[in-house]
Amino acid sequence: MIGLIGHSNSADKRELIWLTLEIEQSKLNREKCLLMLDKSLLMYFAFLIVGIVGFINRYITVQYLNLVIALSFCVLASGLIPYMVTMYREEKKLDALLKAYHHNHKEQKPIKRNVRRKR
């Protein structure tokens, strides 16, 4: 009996460590995509500012301004699309992990939080 309890505790620890590692990997993926989104937003505004300032000071023509604006949208899309795809994948992955965790621990009672009620 004692061996079974120790084995169960060890399995729970391994599962908890695995879940923690999965969550950390998810955080890293999100951070990488967030950095890429930040860089693309920075490039987007840089393209717009350079295009508008160049057009106002007559350094570039209307055709080049249109090209710069189109390229700025391409840069924005190149950062936004991977961010959205990664967020969708990570959300699905975390939902699957939560469902699996709740399915494996169905017989345990949920933890009650200390919530003060109004009197």
Asked if residue 45 belongs to a domain, the reply is yes
pTM of the full structure: 0.70
For the chain, give the mean pLDDT.
Answer: 84
Asked if residue 88 belongs to a domain, the reply is yes
104 vs 2, higher pLDDT: 104
Contact criterion met (CB below 8 Å) for 79 and 41: yes
3-state secondary structure of 78: helix
Contact criterion met (CB below 8 Å) for 91 and 20: no
Q: What's the pLDDT score for residue 30?
A: 92
Q: What's the pLDDT score for residue 27?
A: 92
Asked if residue 15 belongs to a domain, the reply is yes
Q: What's the pLDDT score for residue 40?
A: 96
Question: Domain limits at 84?
Answer: 2-102
How many domains does the chain contain in total? 1
pLDDT tens profile 39-49 = 999 999 999 99
Q: Which helix (H) or strand (E) holds 37?
A: helix 2-56
